[in-house]
Amino acid sequence: MTNAWVEEDALSSNDDWMMAIREATKRDYPEILKIMIGAVSSKELKGFVPPPEITKKFVNNLKSQLELKEHGVLIADLSMEPVGFVFFIQENDCLEIEEIDVLADYQKRGIGRALVNKVERIAKDRKVAFLKTGTSINNKGIPWRAYEFWLRMGFKDTGERTDSGYGFSYGKFIKRL
C-alpha cells in the first residue's frame, strides 16, 4: 500500500459530503484515538470490553503498526476530516479485521461498510481466501451491536466463542472470498 492511494471506487458521495478512504499515517494516531473514544459511550461499552490495561496494549499495538512501512490501518475522511478507521492484519491466507470505529455522529451513513469493502478489495488483490473478525458477547449472551453489522456485510457467525477472561466472550465471524 502507498500513502498516495485514494481510488475512485473508494469515494462515496452524498448531497452534503464526499468520503475518501486512505492509508493512515503516523500523524493520524491522535485522530484514531479520538475516533475510538467518540464512536461509543463508556456506558454502552460496559460488559463488552476488557479492562483499561488490555485496551492500552491494543492501542500501543495499533500505534506500532502505524510505524511500519506496510500496515493495515485505513482512515475514512469526510471533507478531509477523519471520521472512521479500520485496523486489520494479514495472517497467511486471511485478513483479520481487528477494529473498526466510526464517530457516533457519522454512523449509519455507509462509512463502516465502505471501510470493510476496501479491506475486502485489498484481500482479493492479495489473493487472500477469507476475512475474519469478531465481536463481543456480554455475560448475558447479548452480542455487541456490531454483530448485526457483520451479518449485513456478508460475514457468517462461526458459532465459535472464546472466553475473554473478563466477563464476556468473543464471537468469531468469517467471510470467504
Residues 4-58 have pLDDT tens digits of 334 434 445 554 568 999 999 999 999 999 999 999 998 899 899 998 888 889 8
15 forms beta bridges with none
Q: Among candidates 67, 70, 63, 69, which has minimal Cα distance to 85?
A: 63
Mean pLDDT value across residues 112-140: 96
User: What is the pLDDT at residue 92?
Assistant: 87
Domain boundaries, the chain: 12-176
Q: Are the C-beta atoms of residues 144 and 137 closer than 8 Å to each other? A: yes
169 forms beta bridges with 137, 163
pLDDT at 119 over 60: yes
Q: Are the C-beta atoms of residues 155 and 173 closer than 8 Å to each other? A: yes
User: Which CATH topology does 12-176 take?
Assistant: Aminopeptidase (3.40.630)
Q: Are the C-beta atoms of residues 160 and 170 closer than 8 Å to each other? A: no
Q: Are the C-beta atoms of residues 81 and 28 closer than 8 Å to each other? A: no
The amino acid sitting at 43 is K
Q: What is the pLDDT of residues 143-167, one digit of tens each?
A: 999 999 999 999 999 999 999 999 9
